[in-house]
Amino acid sequence: MTATELRAGASLAGVYGLRMLGLFFILPVFAVHAAHLQGGDDLTLVGIAVGIYGLSQGILQVPFGMASDRLGRKRVIYAGLLLFAAGSFLGIAADDIWTAIAARFLQGAGAVNSVAMALAADLTREQHRTKVMAMIGTTIGLTFAVSLVAAPLAYRAVGMGGIFAMTGLLSIAAVWVVRYQVPDPPAAQPSEARERAPTRLLDAELLRLNAGIFILHVLLYAMFVVVPPLLVSAGLELTDHWKLYLPALLGSFVLMIPAVLYADRRNRPKPVLLGSVALLVLVEAALAAVPAAIPRLVLLMLAFFAAFNVLEAMLPALVSRIAPARGRGAAIGVYNTTQTLGVFFGGLLGGWMARHHGAPAVFVTCSLLALLWLGLAAGMKLPRQVNGLPHAAL
């Protein structure tokens, strides 16, 4: 990788980290905090509040991606980060579940994920794109780990209003990183300007990847409606949840690295992807069947996060490989739309299922969804050539 590619990967990973840290700080504590909000005793509304930002992102990812193809990546990122900050500051005043839902919706309106991924693809060569996406994915995982450890402590120290304030300040800090640390993308070539992407957005392989990221985030957010209260009921206080999450997440990073390197260097992403999805099926089934004992939960969360981190790194890299260069922002916008809709429907599904059928039903449903994804991914085919070299048999 060149110095510019390394700088692009590191700085965009930093932008993602600052923004996702703001989102993740809310995730481990909100389901418990909601009991103190007016209307927060309705688990369906709690699930909506957890995932609603995915709905607004789902609505706006494609328009933001297409706007970035025309107006420039950085301008659109600035606008999205400021919208996210506005939603965070609204959350400071939330003393009822509906205001919290509105704040989360406005946070999601800063739908810059697709634009940032397209910018990362613009600044890196194809053979190094998986590495850059892995840098971003690893940073997201690290911020997730930090949030799981620090959020309960921050909640005890400054409350949910303080956490919302911190997320707004982090988003403003991300604007500075984009302005002064992220390299400017190259100007579009005339041949690229004439390229038209819409017909490629219905490519069968892009649809498989979009379905996969949707299911992956349904699983994550449905689980986090029920897992924090489940840990509390198992005898682990909210401020001690890091004792489970931290070893599970650190171990998952160790397991993730060889899998991503194998997929990248051997050009064999399909076996790694299928193995990771199969692991999700087993983990969700085990969570439904195994009693909520802390040691078992540590092992199951380790396996879940290992699979999750691998898939978070691989899926956007595969999308950027298949999508046409000039339409990459729109294609990644569609990908991120399905991702963030998964966030919304995951929160909604988790809250509704937990309210009416209990936590085991949430895990059974997640296991069935992962099994459906495994069937869809089994027929995946990638382009035959990458940088002029024959693609490995898949």
Domain count, the chain: 1
Which range, 65-79, 144-158, 246-260, 356-370, has the best average confidence (pLDDT)?
356-370
Q: What is the pLDDT of residue 64?
A: 83
Q: What is the pLDDT of residue 221?
A: 87
Nearest Cα neighbor of 335 from 322, 321, 316, 313 is 316
Burial level of 381, CB count in 10 A (0-12/13-18/19+)?
exposed
Q: What is the pLDDT of residue 199?
A: 43
Residue 379: other Cβ atoms inside 10 A: 9
pTM confidence score: 0.72
Query: Greater confidence, 168 or 240?
Result: 168
Cα separation, 61 vs 139, whole angstroms: 21
Residue 18: other Cβ atoms inside 10 A: 23
| Predicted confidence (pLDDT) per residue in 21-56, tens digit | 767 788 788 878 888 888 888 888 888 888 888 788
Q: Determine, yes or no, domain membership for 390.
A: no
Q: Determine, yes or no, domain membership for 12.
A: yes
Q: Determine, yes or no, domain membership for 26.
A: yes
| Predicted confidence (pLDDT) per residue in 145-200, tens digit | 788 778 888 888 888 889 899 889 988 888 888 888 888 777 654 444 444 444 45
Residue 366, domain CATH: 1.20.1250.20
Map residue 390 onto helix, strand or coil: strand
pLDDT-derived band at 130, boundaries 50, 70, 90: low
- The answer, yes or no, to whether residue 266 has pLDDT greater than 60, is yes
Q: Which residues pair with 390 in a beta bridge?
A: 385
Cα separation, 291 vs 14, whole angstroms: 38
Distances (CA, A) of 285 to 87, 346, 371: 36, 17, 10
Distances (CA, A) of 24 to 51, 91, 374: 12, 14, 27
- The answer, yes or no, to whether residue 278 has pLDDT greater than 90, is yes
Q: Determine, yes or no, domain membership for 170.
A: yes
Map residue 385 onto helix, strand or coil: strand
Distances (CA, A) of 183 to 249, 293, 310: 31, 48, 27
Q: Determine, yes or no, domain membership for 3.
A: no
CA-angle at 212, arms to 208 and 215, nearest 5°:
140
84 touches 19 (CB < 8 A)? yes
Q: What is the pLDDT of residue 137?
A: 67
Q: Provide the domain limits for residue 315.
A: 8-187+195-382
Cα separation, 349 vs 47, whole angstroms: 7
